[in-house]
Structure 1
Amino acid sequence: MDKILLMLQLQAGLNEATNGDKWTEGITKNGKVINWKRCIYMECAEMIDSFTWKHWKNIDAQADWDNLQIEVIDVWHFIMSLAIEDYSQNLKGGVEDLAINISQLESFSDIDKQSEQFSPQVDVIAKIEDIMIHTLSKDTLNIEELIADFFDLVLMSGLDLQSLYKLYVGKNILNQFRQDNGYKDGSYIKVWGSEEDNVVMKRVWEENGELKPDSLYRELTKIYHSFNK
């Protein structure tokens, strides 16, 4: 449960820093409406593009599993945000209560085991579409069912709780770095040399097993400025 609670706390902190203290009411400090459901299904669509699902284009290309894992982390940001908002608006409790309920899901115990196996492409896409259905449905959202389906996707994508946690923390640091370097006003440069910043972050994080979050931030700063002097 500790890793789930920390991720929820980090996400709540990031949302407040970027959107203001009324973000759980569905509005940013700039008065812009927040739609976490749309964030999820749009990110899921990008996730599907990690696969060669098009029968008319690049039919022999290989699936991009590294990109899929990054997109899984992005979706997790939005699912946690939606869950915190749901608990706040429906008076279910705070992040601690949410963390407890998540840790009691059967699918949570499944991801708390080491896994590096990828499921067949067709099965992964079907699971992604299940998640999209949750957020596109006009029925009342069942946040626990959405999270359970997401945890199924985590396993199918070759991830587990430890790798989900580590990649999430890495992406959280990258998101902070983006905000500090002009992401909102459009001056931030997302491609560093020939690679997206997501790819660079993932490689640095994986190659330096003992790296701490603040050290990762400093390393990203050094690399970013080496390409964007």
Structure 2
Amino acid sequence: MLTPTQLATMLALQDGMNCKVNPNWLTAGYAYLRAAMIESVEGIEHHGWKWWKAQHKDLPQLQMELVDIWHFALSHIIIEFSGDIKQSAQTISEQLASQRTNLTFDGLNYQFNQLDILDNLELMAGLCAAKRFDVPLFIKIVEQAEMDSDELYRQYVGKNVLNFFRQDNGYKTGTYSKIWHGKEDNEHLVEVLNALDISLADYSDQVYVGLKRRYPQ
């Protein structure tokens, strides 16, 4: 289960990135759950579902879609609590601690711990379309995609910090270089993440420092 430190870090990072995009993001009316719905459908595509053709499950891409969904979900939750990060973290913790394995949607009860990942992704897409997000359902899908809470945290922080780093180094103006020393920035990020202990209190700061050390000055 996600720890209080991990939740606080992710929520603070999400608020920070959103503020970087638009300082007034809380009241901008952005459709975060619509975005989460689209990512849920893309997750279904990466898993493969078509019975009339051969398909290969792309697990890394599916995991990336889930990380993107978590970005949008955290944004939605922060808005629900008017920017209160502490209350947002407490609510998520309470939902996770409940260990609930079912939900009611459109008058039907779904035991999502008994459904496969495709059915759960479809259920999540439907909930998001109805402007709802269910944290226990999402975490179940994360587990079905062969990730644990630590891996969700690791990938989330990595992607968020890389987005910060890109913005700080000219991504918007076009002066940022995605290739450093013959490798894409995503490859450098993986190496930085692999070298760090996720239990560090300043884990996200250390990821940023690791990227900065590698980036050509």
User: TM-score, normalised on structure 2?
Assistant: 0.73
Q: Counterpart in 2 of 1:149?
A: 137
* 1:180 equivalenced with 2:168 (yes/no): yes
Following superposition, the deviation at residue 97 of structure 1 comes to: 1.2
Summarize deviations over 1:78-131 as a string: whole Å, max 9, x none.
00001111221xxxx712112112111246769xxxxxxxxxxx8212211111
Alignment-derived partner of residue 119 in structure 2: 126
Matched, 1:77 2:71: yes
Task: Select the residue among 171, 174, 191 that pairs with 1:204.
Answer: 191
**Quick one: structure 1 residues 127 and 208, their matched pair in 2 at CA, closer, same or farther if it must change by over 3 Å?**
same
Q: Is the 8 A contact 1:70 1:198 kept in 2?
A: no
Post-superposition shift, 1:133? 0.7
Q: Who is 2:60 aligned against?
A: 66
Please give the residue correspondences for 1:72-111 in structure 2 after superposition, counting only pairs within 5 Å: 72-88=66-82, 94-106=84-96
Distance change (3 Å), C-alpha of 1:197 and 1:53 = farther
Q: By how many angstroms is 1:189 displaced?
A: 6.3
1:160 equivalenced with 2:148 (yes/no):
yes
Is 1:10 aligned to residue 6 of structure 2?
A: no
- Structure 2 gap ranges (5+): 101-114
**Number of aligned residues:** 196
Contact kept, 8 Å, 1:39 with 1:78, in 2: the verdict is yes
Partner of 1:23: 25
Identity %: 33
Q: Structure 1: where are the runs of 5+ without partners?
A: 28-32, 111-121
Change (3 A) 1:182 1:49: farther
Higher RCO, Cα 8 Å, sep 6+: 2
2 CA distance for matches of 1:196 and 1:52?
A: 27
- 2:207 partner amino acid: L
Q: TM-score, normalised by structure 1?
A: 0.70
Which stretch has the larger CA shift, 74-83 or 146-155?
A: 146-155
